[in-house]
Structures are given as C-alpha cells and as structure tokens.
C-alpha cells in the first residue's frame, strides 16, 4: 500500500506539474509586428506632412535615403497616410503591402490611393523602413523620378520633373485656357481645376502609368481616374508625354490639354456604359469647338477612307481605340467619334449632346445605354443614327 501511495502521489505531482507548465505557457503570444509597423508608417506619414526630415529619417534604416522625402517638399500636400493591408514577416525582416493615400491641397476632394510595397528590418528593438516602392503593376509617383518643380496657374497645378519653369508655366497657361472652355461647353458641375504631371520623357510617362512605353509613343497625353467618379472622387491627373507633345503646333497643344480637361470634367458621368466613341469623341468635340477647323482638317484619315470608297460601316468599337501601333486606325476611331458628336451638336444642338452624354453614362451598364439615350434624348434608333452618321461623313468629307 505504501508503494501504491508513493505512486499515487507521484502521479498527482506529474499532473500538477503539467498543469503548472500549461498555465505558464498558455496560448501563443500574439505577434505585434503588424501594429508596430503601422505605428512606424504613421510616424513616417506625419513626418512627410510636417516636412520633418529628422523624424522621417528615424523611420528609415540607417543606410536609407531621404531623397524622395526632399523631392516631396515641392508638392502641396493636404494629407498623407499609409494603411497597412498585409505583413509577411521572416525573423527580423518583413514585407508590407500598404495603401498610400494622399491629397494635393486645393485640388483633391478625396485621397488618391496607390498601392505600395515596403520592406522593413527589425533593428535595435524597432522596425525601420528599408525600401518603399510601387506595388507590382502599380505606377510610380512623380517624385520617384526626380526633383519636382511646381507651378500654380489660375485653374491648374503643374508638377514637372526635368522641365524648366518656363516650360511648366506654358503648360499652366494652356490648362488655364482649357478650364473655362470646358465649363462653357459642359457646364460647371465639376471641380473647375486640373493637375498636370509633366515627366522628363516618354519612359517617365509610362512609369507613372505602370505601363510599357511602346504603347504610348505617339500619345501626347492621357488622363487617369476611375470612370464614374463621385463628387468625392480625387481629381484626375493629366499626364503628358513630352516627346509626342513637343512636336505639336500651338493649336494641337491646346486641343490636347482641352481634350484631357474635358475627361476630368465629365468623369462623374463617364461609366462602364459609355462607349469610347462617345467619351473620346466628345472630348475632341470640346477641344476643337470654336477653333474654326473644318471636318476635313480635323478628320484627314477618315476623309481618305471616304474618298477611297471605304467609309466605315459602323461607329468605332472600343477595340479600335487600342494603342496597337496602327496609327491610321486609331486616328479614324478618334475622328469617327468626333464626327458623331459633331453630328449630334449640328442636328440636335449642344444641349442635347450634353444630355445624351449624361444619359448614356448614367445608365450604368453598357447594354441598352446608347439605345435608350438615342430614343429618349434624340428620338432615334441606333440603326437610323448610324445611317445619319455615314451620310454626314460623305457630306462633310466626300
């Protein structure tokens, strides 16, 4: 019995010991790395807004650079913040996915959001940023390409890299002329100002768009932004290709900036329902409005097709606007859209053209959008309108 008693006590001691060990260990301690990294990014954002280089440097790995921080000084920022979306840790190193949200003071109603990938190291008990770069397939920011120069116009902010102040002031003058022209044509239910980005080269433009330079070689400018943006959506960015833009004449330069400004103004009513012939054609219509240019002067490629006996059978499809390297095809698409909008303005009036644009975009979905707007606003059908457009081409370009 004594033996059984010792065994019993030993068993009890083992159970108690296991219980103590289990109580001491408990569930695994939560990894606080994500919260710590978010705090580092918060301090980094505050440093950017406060222009506090010492505080910014404190968030960097000792060998890190403050070059981009210094380049940002020229950009009038109203907000700058990081939102951590994912963290992958391996020992004292980590890779963070984050959304950078920033607003340019006086121009952005809501933050511009860009995807970033940050690499961090854990050193001396704290996380520090080793690199901060665009996420995969995301575009660069202008200040990542060089020192930024800012020029303010009456209705514009022009930010450039590798450009003289004189050249940037010329862009601001073009934008300042474009804004009231667009408001006169479209109306004043938009921000009434634009932000223009002028990189050093075509490659710089492609970098801002996160795309290949080859697809934009002959494109003078593009406008970023999500279709169907609400009143709270951030201002679009007009991004210039300085190489293609530089070969244009004075009228061409103004038309390009006015065209892109029109995209900014119409963004809230440009949705998945809006075909490219309408959005691009309308922007060209505003761009050439009041210029005195004839249809033959504005649509030479389309005129060539008409005179050769090969007029288009249908309005341009979205695919015709692709940057495929076929410059003539692309030109005919833009010219065809412009002629369609010109037809509406000539036959039904400018007010109806605007109403038609809004009705198509406000439909929300592509199916039935154009058909419904043709019926409700213009009192016609797709078949009749296409026939009228083809006749208009022959009459104006034949």
pLDDT in tens, 174-221: 999 999 999 999 999 999 999 999 999 999 999 999 988 888 888 999
DSSP-derived secondary structure letter, 174: H
**Once rounded to an integer, what is the mean pLDDT over residues 337-362?**
98
Going by pLDDT thresholds of 50, 70 and 90, the confidence category of residue 20 is very low
222 φ/ψ angles, rounded to the nearest 5 degrees: -135, 165
Length of the chain: 398
Domain co-membership, 212 together with 286:
no
pLDDT at 10 > cutoff 50: no
Domain co-membership, 295 together with 392:
yes
Q: How far apart are CA 136 and CA 162, in angstroms?
A: 25
High-pLDDT (> 70) share of the chain, %: 89
pLDDT in tens, 24-34: 444 444 569 99
CB of 338 closer than 8 Å to CB of 276: no
Of 16-25, 149-158, 193-202, give the lowest mean pLDDT range. 16-25
Instruction: State the Cα angle at 72 between 239 and 113, rounded to 5°.
Output: 60
Last residue of a domain, one of 267, 288, 323: 267
Residue 7 lies in a domain: no
CB of 264 closer than 8 Å to CB of 223: yes
Domain co-membership, 304 together with 205:
no
Residue 309 lies in a domain: yes
pLDDT at 380 > cutoff 80: yes
Residue 26 lies in a domain: no
Domain co-membership, 297 together with 371:
yes
Domain co-membership, 185 together with 144:
yes
Query: Residue 148's beta-bridge partner residues?
Result: 161
Domain co-membership, 132 together with 42:
yes
Q: Which of 35, 37, 57 shows the shortest CA–CA distance to 120?
A: 37
**Once rounded to an integer, what is the mean pLDDT over residues 85-101?**
97
Question: Quick one: CA torsion of 370, 375, 381, 384, rounded to 10 degrees?
Answer: -110
Q: How far apart are CA 330 and CA 172, in angstroms?
A: 28
Residues contacting 390, CB < 8 A, separation 6+: 311, 312, 313
Residue 221 lies in a domain: yes
Residue 25 lies in a domain: no
Q: How far apart are CA 72 and CA 148, in angstroms?
A: 7
Tokens, residue 206: 């492609």
Q: Which of 294, 316, 290, 314 shows the shortest CA–CA distance to 303?
A: 294
Residue 341 lies in a domain: yes
Going by pLDDT thresholds of 50, 70 and 90, the confidence category of residue 236 is confident
Count how many domains the chain has: 3
pLDDT at 332 > cutoff 80: yes
Helices (H), the chain: 2-25, 33-50, 53-58, 67-71, 165-186, 202-209, 242-246, 250-266, 276-288, 295-298, 300-307, 327-347, 350-362, 369-373, 382-397
Domain co-membership, 254 together with 280:
no
pLDDT at 11 > cutoff 70: no
Domain membership of residue 234 as a residue range = 140-267
pLDDT in tens, 105-140: 999 888 889 999 999 999 889 999 999 999 998 999
Q: Give the 3-state secondary structure of residue 123.
A: strand
For residues 63 and 93, which has the higher predicted lDDT (pLDDT)? 93
Q: How far apart are CA 241 and CA 252, in angstroms?
A: 14
Domain co-membership, 180 together with 113:
no
Last residue of a domain, one of 206, 240, 267: 267
Going by pLDDT thresholds of 50, 70 and 90, the confidence category of residue 8 is very low
Q: How far apart are CA 128 and CA 324, in angstroms?
A: 44
Residue 224 lies in a domain: yes
Last residue of a domain, one of 138, 153, 179: 138
Check which CATH number belongs to the domain holding 236 and give it. 3.30.2010.30
Residues contacting 107, CB < 8 A, separation 6+: 157, 191, 193, 195, 235
pLDDT at 103 > cutoff 50: yes
| pLDDT the model gives residue 225 | 74
**Average pLDDT, rounded, for the chain:** 90
Q: How far apart are CA 86 and CA 118, in angstroms?
A: 10
Check which CATH number belongs to the domain holding 121 and give it. 3.10.450.50
Residue in this structure with the two tokens 């109403």, named with its chain if needed: 355
pLDDT at 12 > cutoff 50: no
Domain co-membership, 288 together with 389:
yes
**Once rounded to an integer, what is the mean pLDDT over residues 269-292?**
97
* Strand order, beta sheet including 148-152: 148-152, 156-161, 194-198, 237-240, 221-223
127 by Cβ neighbours in 10 Å (0-12 / 13-18 / 19+) ranks as buried
Domain co-membership, 278 together with 396:
yes
| pLDDT the model gives residue 19 | 39
Q: How far apart are CA 342 and CA 302, in angstroms?
A: 14
Domain co-membership, 160 together with 179:
yes
Domain co-membership, 397 together with 276:
yes
Residue 302 lies in a domain: yes
pLDDT at 38 > cutoff 80: yes
CB of 196 closer than 8 Å to CB of 156: yes
């Amino acid at each position: 019995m004594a033996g059984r008693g010792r065994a019993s006590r030993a068993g009890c001691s083992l159970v108690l010991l296991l219980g103590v060990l289990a109580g001491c260990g408990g569930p695994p301690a939560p990894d606080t790395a994500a919260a710590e990294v978010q705090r580092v990014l918060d301090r980094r954002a505050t440093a950017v807004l406060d222009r506090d280089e010492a505080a910014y440097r404190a968030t960097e790995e000792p060998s890190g650079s403050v070059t981009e921080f210094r380049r940002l000084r020229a950009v009038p920022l109203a907000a700058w913040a990081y939102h951590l979306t994912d963290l992958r840790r391996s020992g004292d190193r980590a890779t963070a996915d984050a959304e950078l949200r920033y607003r340019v003071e006086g121009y952005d109603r809501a933050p511009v959001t860009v995807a970033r990938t940050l690499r961090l190291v854990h050193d001396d008990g704290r996380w520090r940023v080793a690199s901060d770069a665009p996420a995969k397939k995301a575009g660069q920011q202008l200040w990542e390409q060089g020192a930024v120069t800012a020029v303010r116009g009456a209705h514009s902010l022009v930010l450039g890299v590798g450009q003289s102040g004189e050249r940037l002031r010329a862009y601001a003058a073009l934008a300042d002329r474009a804004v009231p022209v667009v408001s006169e044509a479209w109306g004043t239910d938009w921000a009434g100002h634009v932000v223009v980005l002028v990189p050093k080269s075509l490659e710089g433009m492609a970098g801002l768009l996160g795309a290949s330079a080859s697809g934009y070689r002959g494109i003078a400018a593009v406008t970023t932004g999500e279709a169907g943006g609400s009143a709270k959506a951030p201002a679009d960015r007009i991004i210039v290709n300085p190489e293609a833009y530089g070969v244009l004449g004075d009228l061409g330069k103004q038309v390009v900036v006015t065209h892109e400004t029109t995209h900014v103004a119409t963004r809230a009513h440009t949705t998945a329902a809006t075909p490219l012939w309408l959005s691009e054609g309308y922007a060209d219509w505003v761009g050439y409005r009041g210029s005195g240019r004839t249809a033959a002067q504005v649509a030479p490629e389309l005129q060539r097709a008409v005179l050769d006996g090969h007029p288009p059978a249908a309005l341009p499809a979205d695919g015709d606007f692709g940057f495929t390297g076929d410059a003539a095809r692309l030109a005919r698409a833009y010219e065809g859209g412009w002629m369609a909008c010109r037809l509406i303005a000539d036959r039904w009036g400018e007010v109806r053209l605007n109403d038609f644009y809004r009705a198509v975009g406000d439909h929300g979905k592509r199916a039935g959008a154009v058909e419904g707007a043709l019926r409700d606003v213009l009192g016609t059908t797709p078949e009749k309108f296409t026939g009228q457009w083809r006749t208009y081409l022959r009459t104006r370009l034949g």
